Amino acid sequence: MKPVFEYSRGMREKELHYCPGCTHGIAHRLIMEVLDEKGQLGDAIGVAPVGCSIVSHQYMNVDMLESPHGRAPAVASGIKRVHPNSPVFTYQGDGDLASIGTSEIIHAAERGEKFTTVFINNAIYGMTGGQMAPTTLIGQTATTAPEGRTVAQAGYPMRMCEIISQMDAAVYVERVTVTSPGDVRKAKKALERAFEVQEKKLGFSFVEILSTCPTNWGLPPVKAIEWLRENMMEYYPVKQFKCPEEVK
Amino acid sequence: MAEKKLMKGNEAFATSAIHAGCRYYFGYPITPQNEVPEFMSRELAKAGGYFIQAESELGAINMAYGAAAAGGRVLLSTSSPGIALMQENLSLLSSVELPIVLVSVMRGGPGIGSIQPGQADYNQATKGGGNGDYHTIVFAPASIQEAVDMIYKGFDVADEYRNPVMVCADGMIGQMMEPVVLPPEKAPLAEEEIGNVKPWALTGHKEKRERNAINSVWLQQELLEEYIEQYWPKYVKAENELQDWEAINVENCETLFVAYGSVSRVVKEAMADLEKEGHNVGLIRLKTLWPFPHKAFELIGDNCKNVICCELSMGQMMKDVEAEVKGKYPVHLINRVGGMLLDPVEVVERTKKILEVK
């Protein structure tokens, strides 16, 4: 009988340390499935961020390193110079990419670096215990915004796809989520296109995945998915911002 | 046949790196090292290499991290405040045992400071500003030729020790022109060869080996302690094998100077004048700042009455010299700071004053 579901060859057989209901596991697997289906697991090189997914190299079956906080796009730029034909990706959370690492991501995008960034936006700092992120929504509580984020105190949440898509050399920009089976399929498609853009050396490719953090949101997993759909998707619309003809 | 060429320091540094097989350079403008990125932007692509003008010094050293992790031979250059920004990565590169060569063209500090030559980054270079237990191997050239040779050799030392190597050239050496003989050109490591020569490098596992992971985080402290204890012996080895210095009349002198970099040249001129007046002088010139050349101080003979440190800082090197002579001789300081320079006349006068007071 043909198996309907298997362990991905792209994932090492390790138990994930992520909290129940966290969507890192799905995101990891999607990237690895895409590389596996393209026959590129043996060529790919990944850059892990500082944050919960700093140890993603324990799970992803590709060569990887850990970047200092926020610097993953600069690190990937260096890797890509040595291996210009290998698929290179950064995997970064919202604190890493949208706070401490804004300089690196903007300039990598503007240089048209030929690697792919996967941006995990769960609107909170996970690893350090639930502090306000640059993407924390207005009114959302965090350990450093105990009464909820206010515009007066912390300004507005950063919309990274909207910012990145302004860059001419960022040619593929899409925001997806993984909160339903249909959304998971769309997210995988987005990742496929992003790696194809990279392979064809068309420019910089960027996929944002709206993600959950049940632990730091203080919600059970199913409620966390509902909260994401009801709150995050309004401020962060799931859509394709830019896509070159060559990969449509 | 190697011929002598008249070259500006910064351009000679960059050329030496290309001759050593370096094909990756990441830079950010900062005076007085700008000729290095300018030269690399013109010349590196011609040699089949890659130049990026980074968004910041943080960007530059992280590009270097990526390229070194991927198995490339990497040069970086910057000046004092730029090194301050790069300290996090010097700690990180040491923790993951990656080789890079970093040229620091030192200027006056602290803060944004001045753009004139300085040596007030002695502590920055040798004691580090990064977190944790690590060392940066630091060479200190006194001429453009020596800088060229140290950069060339520095790549091999960085590879052997799998550790960052810093070449501390002060602004004087970066900006002046001198005749140099360039070392022979080495071929860079071909991309296909990286995996064989550097089995730890990120090349993609090609379905032929376990995936390589370069990691700096240790969530179980027992394992981090074990890891540090496992790599620490290389620093002990470096302290034994890399100490380097020049010694002049150290065994017999009554007055011993200690200096490094361009200041040592000023001191040598002052010594010639002092000798003419009958003074018995000697010099220890540091060629490595870390490891500190302890062995040179074992050569000091019974005649020694005074040790005089000459440097462009408020006595940063002098603290290491004091620790070395352990109170056996009085240690004095002849210095200028902030980008101001010493000249031989001033060194002679201040030396005489020190010797009179006794």
List the CATH number of the domain containing B273. 3.40.50.920
List the CATH number of the domain containing B115. 3.40.50.970
Which residues 23-42 in chain A show a CB within 8 A of chain B? 41-42
What ipTM was estimated for this complex? 0.97
Q: Which residues of B touch A79 (CB under 8 A)?
A: 66-67, 69-70, 202
* pLDDT tops 80 at residue B2: no
In DSSP terms, which residues pair with B260 in a beta bridge?
Answer: B286
Calculate the dihedral angle through the C-alpha atoms of B67, A118, A167, A107, rounding to the nearest 10 degrees.
-30
Question: What is the identity of the amino acid at B153?
Answer: K
For residue B69, give the nearest of A62, A77, A79 by CB distance.
Answer: A79
Taking CA A107 as the corner, what is the angle to CA A61 and CA B52, rounded to the nearest 5 degrees?
85
Does one domain contain both B271 and B178? no
* pLDDT tops 90 at residue B170: no
**Residue range B283-296: average pLDDT?**
98
Would you give the distance in Å from CA A22 to the centre of its chain? 13
Closest chain A residue to the Cα of B213, Cα to Cα: A64
- The answer to whether position B294 is within a domain reads yes
Which residues 57-96 in chain B show a CB within 8 A of chain A? 58-60, 62-72, 74, 88-89, 92, 96
Peptide bond preceding B110 in cis form (omega within 30 of 0): yes
Please state, in angstroms and rounded to a whole number, the distance separating the CA atoms of residues B281 and A208: 68
Please state, in angstroms and rounded to a whole number, the distance separating the CA atoms of residues A210 and A223: 15
Q: What is residue B129's predicted lDDT score, i.e. its pLDDT?
A: 86
Half-sphere exposure at residue B114, Cβ-oriented, CA atoms within 13 angstroms: 14
Pairwise CB contact (< 8 Å): A68 & B207: no
- The answer to whether position B301 is within a domain reads yes
User: For residues B237 and B318, is the Cβ–Cβ distance under 8 A?
Assistant: no
Please state, in angstroms and rounded to a whole number, the distance separating the CA atoms of residues B352 and B112: 35
Does one domain contain both B304 and B167? no
For residue B217, give the nearest of A66, A78, A80 by CB distance.
Answer: A66
Peptide bond preceding B233 in cis form (omega within 30 of 0): no
* pLDDT tops 80 at residue B195: yes
Q: What is residue B357's predicted lDDT score, i.e. its pLDDT?
A: 63
- The answer to whether position B229 is within a domain reads no
Does one domain contain both B168 and B257? no
Q: Which residues of B touch A42 (CB under 8 A)?
A: 204-208
- Per residue in B25-74, pLDDT tens? 999 999 999 999 999 999 999 999 999 999 999 999 999 999 999 999 99
User: For residues A244 and A54, is the Cβ–Cβ distance under 8 A?
Assistant: no
- The answer to whether position B220 is within a domain reads no
- The answer to whether position A11 is within a domain reads no
Query: Per-residue DSSP letters for B178-231?
Result: EEEEPPPPPPPPPGGGHHHH-TTS-S--TTTSPPPEE----SSHHHHHHHHHHH
Question: What is the identity of the amino acid at A39?
Answer: G
Pairwise CB contact (< 8 Å): B215 & A65: yes
- For A170, the token pair is 């960022």
Does one domain contain both B33 and B166? yes
- The answer to whether position B217 is within a domain reads no
Peptide bond preceding A221 in cis form (omega within 30 of 0): no
pLDDT along chain A (248 residues), means of 10: 88 96 97 98 98 97 98 98 98 98 98 98 97 98 98 98 98 98 98 98 98 98 98 98 97
Half-sphere exposure at residue A99, Cβ-oriented, CA atoms within 13 angstroms: 22
- The answer to whether position B204 is within a domain reads no
- The answer to whether position A1 is within a domain reads no
List the CATH number of the domain containing A181. 3.40.50.970
For residue A78, give the nearest of B65, B208, B216 by CB distance.
Answer: B65
- The answer to whether position A78 is within a domain reads yes
Domain that holds residue B277: 245-357
- The answer to whether position A13 is within a domain reads no
* pLDDT tops 70 at residue B358: no
Q: What is residue B289's predicted lDDT score, i.e. its pLDDT?
A: 98
Backbone phi, then psi, for A101, in 5-degree steps?
-105, 20
Would you give the distance in Å from CA A183 to the centre of its chain? 15
Please state, in angstroms and rounded to a whole number, the distance separating the CA atoms of residues B331 and B322: 7
Q: How many residues does chain A have?
A: 248
The answer to whether residue B44 neighbours chain A at the CB level (below 8 Å) is no
- The answer to whether position A75 is within a domain reads yes
* pLDDT tops 70 at residue B234: yes
Chain A, chain B: beta-carbon pairs less than 8 Å apart? 140
Distance from CA of B75 to the nearest CA of A (A): 12
Domain that holds residue A139: 24-247
Give the 3-state secondary structure of residue B128: coil
Closest CA relative to residue A86, chosen from B191, B190, B61: B191
Our count of domains for chain B comes to 2
Does one domain contain both B37 and B180? yes
Across all residues in chain B, what is the average pLDDT? 96
| CA distances for B191 relative to A201, B20, B100, B203, B329, angstroms | 19, 16, 17, 9, 55
Give the 3-state secondary structure of residue A48: strand
Does one domain contain both B9 and B132? yes
Does one domain contain both B186 and B252? no
Beta strand pairing status for A170-177 and A240-242?
antiparallel
Rg of chain B, C-alpha, whole Å: 21
- The answer to whether position A85 is within a domain reads yes
Our count of domains for chain A comes to 1
- The answer to whether position A19 is within a domain reads no
Q: What is residue B1's predicted lDDT score, i.e. its pLDDT?
A: 55
- The answer to whether position B231 is within a domain reads no
Pairwise CB contact (< 8 Å): A63 & B64: no
The answer to whether residue B172 neighbours chain A at the CB level (below 8 Å) is no
Beta strands in chain B (DSSP E): 4-8, 24-27, 50-53, 74-78, 101-106, 137-139, 165-170, 177-181, 213-214, 245-248, 255-260, 281-286, 288-290, 306-311, 331-335
Please state, in angstroms and rounded to a whole number, the distance separating the CA atoms of residues B146 and B262: 11
User: For residues B162 and B97, is the Cβ–Cβ distance under 8 A?
Assistant: yes
Does one domain contain both B114 and B41? yes
Give the 3-state secondary structure of residue A34: helix
Please state, in angstroms and rounded to a whole number, the distance separating the CA atoms of residues A139 and B206: 48
- The answer to whether position B221 is within a domain reads no
Query: Per-residue DSSP letters for B87-110?
Result: HHHHHHHHHTT---EEEEEEBS-S
DSSP classification of residue B31:
T
Please state, in angstroms and rounded to a whole number, the distance separating the CA atoms of residues A240 and A122: 19
Please state, in angstroms and rounded to a whole number, the distance separating the CA atoms of residues B274 and B94: 44
